[in-house]
Structure 1
Amino acid sequence: MGRLFDGPWPIVIIIIVALLLFAAPKLPQMARSLGQSMRIMKSEVNQMKDEGKAKSAPAASDEPVEGKVVNHPEAGKDNGGEQNPPSSNA
């Protein structure tokens, strides 16, 4: 007679049989959640790839823009002449 646990196959078969006996009602739900997780992971990977392409490609708005720095008209009224912009918490 051979030994039962000489190779990995008898253990794998025992685990599969145990899963089928005790977890059979939950197998469809587990397969659905595994598929949903795989779809989410795939979409996240694709989104990360798209973000990498968007950052490396030069945009038309990357050209320098000429402009002036202006003071806010209400700056410096209530704070003793200091030129700080007014807070938006008022």
Structure 2
Amino acid sequence: MCADAGALMRVTLAPDRASVTSVVPLLPANDRANTDATLAPDGNTVLFLSRAGSGNPILYRIRLDAPGAVPIKVADMPVPEITGGGGLHVHLVAAQ
């Protein structure tokens, strides 16, 4: 779950999936915009974009099955130049 511009949360459901039993942060508090969390095909890793200020986004991954896991940088995400003005927003929609 993405809460605000900097928080990614792990939501745990009850066994019957009818209610939420806990919500805990995946990341330590920071001043970055962390967005576009996407579950990796292994089902145990989340990929997400992180941006400091107006800089280009960076792709990170974090394990869900390792309590206390630390985000690991995967790659800087290049943002193509746009001619004619307008802004370009990079979004992570799938992972392979």
- Regarding TM over 0.5, the answer is no
Instruction: Sort the TM-score into its range (normalised by shorter chain).
Output: under 0.3
Higher Rg: 1
Q: Which has the higher helix share?
A: 1
TM-score w.r.t. the length of structure 1 is 0.23
Q: Name which structure has the greater RCO, CA cutoff 8 Å, separation 6+.
A: 2
